Structure 1
């Protein structure tokens, strides 16, 4: 059973806190079990995934009842909302509905009774997570109870996560990081979880925890707030994911808190497959080694192996027990995502060294730049630019060029007011740090980079 710790000895202690409200395990189990009797058996149920206790009760009830839960982002536009609800054939909402939906609503709490719940089959679909839809309509990712349990257990092994921990985060509850790891991980392992509603530095600092989860945007803001950062010095682990953590932020967080951040890598389709460990080496820019049960390999464009030298770039492929079963209603997309010998094609490019440490270069479609006959990883150029004191944020992309094939273009956020001169200085700075062919040909200044709810830069919007 996925949520084994709901029957743990600590049932009377606060298990989940969101803002100022809390539920013990006993209260959560009682409310969720009562709700299960009102849910449609084995039919997908939507949850309006705001950071509330009703969301946690609704998700828990769906998992107990064997009804695939479909977390819906609260900021979904009308077209995205219609697509998700129709694609998943959702019959109702558990808890509050999205304001633009007229599907029936089953309140999350207030139901009477609720007897014993038969655990769903391990291979049954537990959750349908929708991708960000950067290459078309969002795809529904079918994750089984077995996959969720295996993914959480593998991370717990890597991070030495136990019932003694208190997890603190303010991440969205419609995504892998905030919902599956932050909430379901805590419920499975038996630890406590405190959701700060908003991922603000002062809110993280106000909660005594042992593990703090954040995306790079959150950690960048904490790194800029000395008092908030120092307040986290009593933690055991500071975990960053969903996008690369800039090296200067890694070093600043380490300096202020005394803890080098844990970086990890995963996708909706795979959960977490790579991570640095609670005990062992933590390197800026590295997402570590395969977690329990995971194997990885790097392949060239023609399917050949890539040397484990920490420099050679290859297409990252993974396999393990926490991977998804299929894309909902997308058999062709599912087939295209797997090799003939059973490896999932992540779409990311990476390097790997002799110790098995991986560095993610980025998405093959936008972060592998082919310029003048060279293959350049956008992340390497971004790291070089972030070392310049005038650069606050940066995104590097390849744009079509008649001569080079692609030209390297850097989009920079800066507080420097002398932008006319800064662009040339930044190009020279990269030239002095990296190979000449890796320098940006253009530097474009923005007030902010386009990001999604998880803090990932939306590179396809740059230059459009």
Structure 2
């Protein structure tokens, strides 16, 4: 059963928890969720797909959970999505109604409210494992967002593999303040907690203060969140009683990793994944947690690195290759996009991630970045932007750094660094040249007030590369 902790038999055996979910100032017990979500299931049963305005609220929790109980596909829609993108998501997904909170513009679809105090104890059979639980939409950095159908059995396999890697148990209390329309916040945070049976706290905004008072054992955050906590000695100290601090959705800068370790006594867990694959690689609770490295493939996951000719590259910790993954968490293809599916998914199940990486002799993975923007081919050399960024972040005058390759008549591409900080450009070029090979130094450093980022904190490098 996907939502294992909501199995009525589990609740009857004493799995009741008074504060199973704490969100938006409301605490829901295990039976609140079972009864409330089953009431939702009765109202949507028989529908194929419904849209859910994915705010961090009890209505969203019960809407998503009710869909999973009834076997209805939920389409989480960000509350702050633009009008054109919202219309695209609704039409592309085939959603027939809005469930839960009502958006300002329903686009002509009927609205089904969630009644927070309604309860039902009807029993529904477990839907097939290969049925679609969710349709999540990618960020749309290359055209309109693509719909990613996610199977129930893929979610279950991923959560179980992470539970094994992180020693995640019902005794944990998981805390985060991330959006409930992405894999990180929704699938891992909420659905993971409902499957494992641990307490779940959503802090609203992921501020250092909110994380500090939550008293969790397991925390999720994106690098921006961890950077802010690392800059707040009091908040970081309050997290020292936690068991794991998990970072994902973008690379965690090594200086942030090290400062968190120093302030909390906990070396962060880093992991890697995508909407199309869920989480596939992670460091382990009982294993090495190396700054800048995302760890080992989860149980059931295979990975490989390929060169430009399609040959596998050596696992020497240095040679960069295109990362591909295969396993039970990988999707079956984009919704309504066989052309896009064929570009990334091979007939034998290998997903072409679009990322480049290195693997060492022990199987540890380090993500270099996106092949399109983070693999820089300069003067006949292949340089990973992240390595240069890490070097720059080691300078006391650098708060943030992003490195891109821009066209160059002589070099093919030249390395350009955008830096938030107060160091002099010439000083930073020399600083990198002293740490890395000469061909990896930036040819140009531009000091900026801020880096462009998306809602998950990822730097928008394609936009950055167009800055003059």
TM-score above 0.5: yes
In the TM superposition, structure 1's runs of 4+ consecutive aligned residues that sit over 3 Å from their partners are: 110-114
Is 2:205 the partner of 1:203? Answer: no
Choose the corresponding residue for 1:24, options 16, 25, 29.
29
Q: Which stretches in structure 1 are left out of the alignment for 5+ residues?
A: none
Counterpart in 2 of 1:6? 6
User: Equivalent residue of 1:383, what SS?
Assistant: helix
How far apart are residue 341 of structure 1 and its match? 3.3
Counterpart in 2 of 1:424? 426
Counterpart in 2 of 1:460? 462
Is 2:376 the partner of 1:369? Answer: yes
Assess if the C-alpha contact under 8 Å between 1:93 and 1:104 holds in 2: yes
Is 2:177 the partner of 1:170? Answer: yes
How far apart are residue 354 of structure 1 and its match? 0.9
How far apart are residue 114 of structure 1 and its match? 5.5
Choose the corresponding residue for 1:106, options 84, 109, 112.
112
Q: Which stretches in structure 2 are left out of the alignment for 5+ residues?
A: none
How far apart are residue 43 of structure 1 and its match? 1.2
- TM-score, normalization: structure 2? 0.96
Counterpart in 1 of 2:301? 294
How far apart are residue 412 of structure 1 and its match? 0.7
Q: Write out aligned runs for 1:17-416 (5 A).
A: 17-39=22-44, 41-102=46-107, 103-109=109-115, 111=118, 113=120, 115-414=122-421, 416=422
- TM-score, normalization: structure 1? 0.97
CA distance in 2, matches of 1:461, 1:40: 43
CA distance in 1, matches of 2:448, 2:54: 31
User: Equivalent residue of 2:404, what SS?
Assistant: strand
How far apart are residue 104 of structure 1 and its match? 1.1
How far apart are residue 301 of structure 1 and its match? 1.0
Q: Deviations over 1:358-408 (max 9, x none)?
A: 000001011001111111100000000000001101111111112211111
CA distance in 2, matches of 1:405, 1:100: 48
How far apart are residue 10 of structure 1 and its match? 2.3
Q: Deviations over 1:183-233 (max 9, x none)?
A: 100000000110000000010000111001000000000000000000000
Q: Deviations over 1:96-140 (max 9, x none)?
A: 132232321111125564521121111001100100011111100
How far apart are residue 284 of structure 1 and its match? 0.1
Assess if the C-alpha contact under 8 Å between 1:37 and 1:114 holds in 2: no
CA change 1:377–1:25 in 2 (3 A) is same
Assess if the C-alpha contact under 8 Å between 1:36 and 1:114 holds in 2: no
Q: Deviations over 1:272-292 (max 9, x none)?
A: 100000011110000000011
RMSD: 1.1
User: Equivalent residue of 2:94, what SS?
Assistant: coil
Assess if the C-alpha contact under 8 Å between 1:42 and 1:65 holds in 2: no
